[in-house]
Amino acid sequence: MRVVLQRVTRAAVTVSDEVVGSIGKGLCVLVGIHRDDTEEDMKYIIRKILNLRIFPASEQKPWDKSVMDLDLEVLSVSQFTLYGQFKGNKLDFHTAMAPTEASKFYETFLESMKKAYKPEKIQDGKFAAMMSVDLVNDGPVTITFDSKEK
């Protein structure tokens, strides 16, 4: 799994002029699923999202608190394009998990994250939909990580 994580003051996902997920302060997480991802990859990514110390505790400790420490929110957005590769000037997505399988994997990912934290604090977009993501990056702070690069 590959993640682009942004610390935000607010974020929302809109599909066809309807807001389907929104949060206040917390993390907006773009999630890509590789065709070879496993439950272990999922567990690693969830642990990192929820426990990454990316928020300040004070001016002296700018990187000391996690989403869980501060009772913040997470907006997760599925994004297969994180596994896009160039073939000339075209994009190829053959390393991304196939849509039917990825849909099930993503649902399991969301449910597992809700179980690991607080269900009401986890929001998401709409899988396989054309989404508009609106966010205010706090910092700005943007971190990328991949479960295959532990």
Tokens at 100, concatenated: 């039917």
Q: How far apart are CA 86 and CA 91, in angstroms?
A: 5
Instruction: Name the residue range of residue 38's domain.
Output: 2-146
Q: Specify the CATH number for the domain of residue 10.
A: 3.50.80.10
pLDDT in tens, the chain (150 residues): 999 999 999 999 999 999 999 999 999 999 999 999 999 999 999 999 999 999 999 888 999 999 999 999 999 999 999 999 999 999 999 999 999 999 999 999 999 999 999 999 999 999 999 999 999 999 999 999 999 997
Work out how many domains the chain is built from and give that number.
1
Annotated catalytic sites, by residue? 79-81
Residue with tokens 């399988």, as numbered in its chain: 101
Say how many C-beta atoms besides its own lie within 10 A of residue 62's C-beta: 14
> Omega of the bond prior to 140 within 30 degrees of 0, cis?
yes
Contacts of 25 (CB under 8 A, 6+ apart): 8, 9, 10, 70, 72, 73, 138
Tokens at 149, concatenated: 């690069």
Q: Where are the alpha helices (DSSP H) in 52-139?
A: 67-70, 99-116
pTM of the predicted structure, to 2 decimals: 0.95
